[in-house]
Chains A and B, each alone.
Chain A
Amino acid sequence: MADKFDEATQRELTNFLEQEQAKSRLQASVHKFTEQCWNKCITGSVSTRFSRGEESCLVNCVDRFLDTSLFIVKKLDEQRGALPS
């Protein structure tokens, strides 16, 4: 590793790594939701395919979690706004 990358290549690699890190964060969230929603939605025994209910539960589980997170942020924001500064 004697010769170093030129500046353009270094910049390209930095961008690449940042993108991969962003993708990894997204993947980590997907892993977390999968486990959480599996626990919530797949309560019976597993069969060769998901039932309609199980599948829509998984979809709703993700969307409602994100709604929850937005809701809480909004609420806290309102409370902070109501405080006399």
Chain B
Amino acid sequence: MSDFLKGGLSSAPSASVDMAAKKQAIMDQVKNEIAMANAQELINVGNDRCYDKCITKPSTSLSSSDETCLSRCMERYMEAFNIVSRTYIARVTRERQNATGSSAEFL
């Protein structure tokens, strides 16, 4: 009886393990691509904003002060992203707790 059960069960797991692995692979890939797109967006916009701020008069090459400004600016842009993210998520959470319905609109 126990042998029969074991035999009966052992064929199913290998198929479902295969399935679970495929499912996990899809989820991982989706998450990776989203993370990648996010990073790209952040870098692209940071690039624009920091170019505007730091390179006011383009010359024949980037000076070391241009480079200092650019790296500080990128660091600050990412910090700003984190501050905004924290604030927004806190607000959305608060609105959801406070009221139901209309105030969740801006999600």
Contacts and interface: CB of A to CB of B under 8 A. Distances in A.
Q: Report whether over half of chain A's contact residues are helix, strand or loop; otherwise say mixed.
A: helix
A47 B72 contact: yes
A33 B39 CA distance: 16
A70 B77 CA distance: 27
Contact of A31 (B26, B42, B54, B79): B42
Contact of B85 (A3, A30, A55): A30
A46 B72 contact: yes
A45 B69 contact: yes
Contacts of B84: 30, 33-34, 37, 58, 61-62
Q: Report whether over half of chain B's contact residues are helix, strand or loop; otherwise say mixed.
A: helix
Given A35-B49, A63-B87, A73 B81 contact: no
Given A5-B19, A62-B84, A70 B34 contact: no
Question: Interface size class for chain A?
Answer: 35 or more
Interface of B: 19-20, 22-23, 26-27, 30-31, 34, 38, 41-42, 45, 49-50, 53-54, 69, 72-73, 75-77, 79-81, 83-85, 87-89, 91-92, 95, 102-103, 105-107
Q: Enumerate the 6 nearest inter-chain pairs by beta-carbon distance, A residue then B residue, closest first.
A: A62-B87, A46-B73, A34-B81, A34-B84, A30-B85, A33-B84
